Amino acid sequence: MSGHSKWATTKHKKAVIDARRAKSFAKLIKNIEVAARAGGADTAGNPALVEAITKAKKTSVPSDNIDRAVKRGAGLLGEAVEYHQIIYEGYGPSGAALLIECLTDNKNRAASEVRTAVTKNGGNMADPGSVSYMFTRKGVISLPKNDLSEDDVLLAVLDAGAEEVKDERDSFEVISEATDLIEVRTALEESGIEYESDEAAFVPSVKVNLDVQDARKFLRIVDALEDLDDVQNVYSNADIDDDVREQLNEEE
């Protein structure tokens, strides 16, 4: 996550933006700890740690915080915390699928909090496998449009393994195989094209379009989930079109 939800429909007040920024920092720090625990504190022999640190720096996480996270994860500041990666599945309104990616040091707490966030806001939890088959792990790079055309971006990344460039209203998304993510990102950098975020994400095969009422319910579920410390990412096949976004903005 880069501190914002892809389903956000309106500009938030400063306090909310600051809270989401702090939340994003915490998630990036946790990723650094996990990478350092798995492969040690030496970046020369730990590419996963290099990647986690790069993402944190791009999001302006302070260097001191990064250094402490590396040492803490590697056990250099005492016993390292052991995190577990878990994916929960669920349904929102209109049968919109939810994949909830968690990184937690307490599985029972994570399961309880995720279930509460989903069910109290009108969604339902699902059995493992009942939702995940609708998604494929892909490399996803988001970049501002600026003065770029879709063809400009495609030309820069096609030879690096990019599969498609999607127009996402105010930005472009470059989709690739997850294994080609770094190569595609490098191709953008070499072409002088700035990007906002890059991640290995779950991309849905089919979208579910939501009306205003269902979009309102869906966003409540997402907000509740993204407020949880253990939740790293929320993926869905829900789609909110421009007309619905405008109606939701008018309600703010």
State the CATH number of the domain containing residue 25: 1.10.10.200
| Amino acid residing at 209 | N
Same domain, 245 and 228: yes
How do residues 121-170 score in pLDDT, each as one tens digit? 999 999 999 999 999 999 999 999 989 999 999 999 999 999 999 998 78
Measuring CA to CA, how many Å separate 196 from each of 136, 184, 190? 22, 14, 15
Which of 198, 90, 195 has the alpha carbon at shortest distance from 135? 90
The verdict on 171 and 220 lying in the same domain is: no
In a domain, 187, yes or no: yes
Q: Are residues 129 and 181 in the same domain?
A: no
Tell me the per-residue pLDDT of 46-59, one tens digit each, with 9 for 90 and over: 999 999 999 899 88
Residues 94 and 124 reside in one and the same domain: yes
Q: How far apart are CA 94 and CA 90, in angstroms?
A: 12
Whole-number Cα distances in Å, 160 to 147, 176, 180, 186, 189: 22, 9, 7, 8, 12
Q: 140 and 165: one domain? A: yes
Residue 222 lies in a domain: yes
Number of domains in the chain: 3
Residues 64 and 153 in one domain: no
149 with 59, same domain: the answer is no
Do residues 153 and 176 share a domain?
A: yes
Residue for token digits 């971006």?
A: 153
Residues 18 and 52 in one domain: yes
In a domain, residue 178? The reply is yes
**Contact call for residues 115 and 226 (beta carbons, < 8 A):** no
Q: Residue 141: inside a domain, yes or no?
A: yes
Question: Please, is 156 exposed, middle or buried when counting C-beta atoms within 10 Å of its C-beta (0-12, 13-18, 19+)?
Answer: buried
pLDDT band at 9 (very low <50, low <70, confident <90, very high): low
- DSSP code at position 181: H
d(Cα 62, Cα 60) in Å, to the nearest integer?
6
In a domain, residue 168? The reply is: yes
CB 131 within 8 A of CB 89: yes
Question: Are 110 and 234 contained in the same domain?
Answer: yes
Q: Which range marks the domain in which residue 49 is found?
A: 14-73
Q: Is residue 146 part of a domain?
A: yes
Question: Which of 24, 49, 73 marks a domain boundary?
Answer: 73
Residue 212's alpha-carbon distances to 10, 224, 235, in angstroms, are: 14, 18, 20
Work out the number of other CB atoms within 10 angstroms of the CB of residue 121.
18
Whether residue 159 sits in one domain with residue 57: no
Backbone phi, psi, residue 170, to 5°: -95, 0
Please state, rounded to an integer, the average pLDDT across all residues of the chain: 90
Q: What is the pTM of this model?
A: 0.86
Residue 209 pairs in a beta bridge with 239
* pLDDT score for 59: 86
Task: Please tell me whether residues 56 and 113 are part of one structural domain.
Answer: no
Is 44 a domain residue? yes
pLDDT score for 3: 38
Q: What is the CATH number of the domain that holds 138?
A: 3.30.70.980
Tell me: pLDDT of 17 over 80: no
Determine the pLDDT at residue 78.
84
CA distances from 94 to 5, 49, 91, 186, 216 (A): 20, 39, 8, 39, 12
- The answer to the question of residue 63 being in a domain is yes
